[in-house]
A and B are shown apart, each in its own frame.
Chain A
Amino acid sequence: MSKLNNLEKILPKVEKPARYIGGEINAVVKKDAEIKARFVFAFPDIYEIGMSHLGMQILYHALNAENDIFCERVFAPAQDMESIMREENIPLFSLETKTPLMDADMIGFTLQYELSYSNVINMLNLANIPLMCDERKEAFPFICAGGPCAFNPEPLGEIIDFFILGEGETVNIEIMKRYILWKETGRTKFEFLKEISCIQGVYIPSLYKPRYDEHMKLIGMDKLYEWAPEKVTKKIEGDLDAAFFPEKFIVPFIDIVHNRAMVEILRGCTRGCRFCQAGVIYRPVRERSVEKIEEITHQLIKNTGYEEMSLLSLSTSDYSKIEPLVSSLMEKCRNENISLSLPSLRLDSFSFKVLDEVQSVKKSGLTFAPEAGTQRLRNVINKSITEEDIFNGAENAFKLGWGTIKLYFMIGLPTETYDDLDGIVNIAKRIIDIYYKIQDKKNRKLKITISTSNFVPKPHTAFQWFPMDDMETLSSKHQYLSEKFKKMKHITFNYNDVRTSFLEAVLARGDRRVNEVLIKAWKSGCKFDGWREHFDFDKWQQAFNDVGIDPGVFSCEKWDYDDVLPWDHIDVGVTKEYLISENEKAYEETFTDDCRNGCTDCGVNRIFECK
């Protein structure tokens, strides 16, 4: 059954063995004789999470569309599986052919969230691959990484051979083609890296050396070779209709987080929320045509047999032809007994019409994301939703029979005061009042969930210089809100662990010194840091102590505009001048309009075409 003869023996002992068997519908298997290079797409979390990720489905099928390239998958094994693999000396293997990762030509990790970094390290170790670039001799596979977190590559810069910044559909193939040529000529790994260093989107950390002052403050990145690019510019796909999108998805056997077919209708967002990294790194906004989306939908339904179809984007309502698109897809789905889901809808009148139809049977919850409790703070963060939008939306929803509402807020935003926290409470109160006016006493089934996340400054955003609140401050704010909400009916209040957010901030804004900390923390047992039951903050603190770094420098310190940022040599298209002006406008509480209503000069059109 597989190249690993003891796999079948251990699978009965683990929870959800189907996580490790591969063989799903539309998974690709190629014979050794047909291929010239093997790539393994590695997702540093468990199967159910990794398999829900659209990017994996796109990049997997894009690579496999090339005859001589074989792309396989690997996910982080769950704790029970990992223990048995270590006991039985089973190296981490690919799902498709159960081949040890060591035998791949290239392993590509996707970095979707900072808290998965320790899993990257753990997976390399499970694959018996040395962790540091300079320990991996010629015989080991190349280790690369991409995804949103790669836009600050430095915290993994000594572990990952090269990063792919931006969108991987075509650049991954280009890299693999160059790899095949390189492999045939038998040159050194360094020569391969040198060759791909000129490809747009490829960043090779070993070509640069950070320079620090006597206080270990980063003051520059020195090129170690004349030919290394001054700055690395991200790679994007131009036209989404021309970009690769799979006609089939791998259909898992087991239930996963997002178990459905998805079509990406829109990439990027023009709204310019100042905390949002996705809004910057996916610029400029590009739309897929209605015809193309319909064609993809048709193929996906036919080839996957999925019972649910979902449209995907950062903001579905911003799709310019959303009404005709949704009408056409709803009809198609109704005919085929498939449900259509529309996440990220803004709650205007059209949305209610659609939602009422889509959810005519089941009325699941509605979601609003005001992000901040007062108009003042929403101006600071440039979130365009007003209280009127929220209250009108809630009123409409209640009239149509909804009784479950979810509201998202961020805590610890720049300039936040307790008045802004009170604003959150007031919004909740007003929503309850609205509900009471509409529903008579007999059928009151209101449920409001207030979900808060902690503000974490992210690279390449207008808020990249801002500190996050220190842990005590955040905890007091949580405490304050908990007290207020405890006294209120209908409300569930959720908030994130402050220590987890603190670590997220350190890894997000960290520089190259973080590599050593990561290794130390992993050695002491850290992995699955995003999972509450695994997260061990004391071990992380110990690791920072051992290396002699104050993590607060990265998370809770305000940085100046003149400071060298660890990601200054990465060009996402948006200029630093623009981010500075947006940061200033935040202090002035001034709103910047959606750039579709007029260019706001973010700079992305210096390099890429805005349509």
Chain B
Amino acid sequence: MTDPVVSAMVFYALATFTLVAAGFVALSNNIVHSAFALFATLFGMAGLYAFLSADLLAIVQMLVYVGGISVLVLFAVMLTSGLDDSRHSNSTTRLAGGIAVLLAVAAAAFVAASAVPSGTESAITPMTALIGDALLGRFVLPFEVVSVVLLAALLGGVTLARGVKGGDR
């Protein structure tokens, strides 16, 4: 999509969608609504990745965050009792926490905006093979370390869920 008008239209539509959904996550009184809005936010981000011609990243975002993490969050929220009570969220650090997060995000955005060169147009290039090569070539060690960490997490989860043999669970 190289046409500037279409690009601008698509970008603003996606950005508005993502931001509105993100606002809904933060401001909604109903935690289930927040969870569904989180799904919409992550979906909008996948759309932004696709718009920036990072096709593999967009699809992986869909696969991991929309199809996996969101569903887990929804399960957790739905299986929690007393859903309609909006005071479930942590209210002790409400204002101070909000301001701190806002400042941190603003600082991160400033750093990111100054570090990334802007205004470079690039055509859509198939990146899947390049990413695959990089992951299993130059970055194979970090890749394997991450998979070991994930395996440890998985085993830990299984151990916790199984409980102690002969125990009362």
Do chains A and B stick together as partners?
A: no
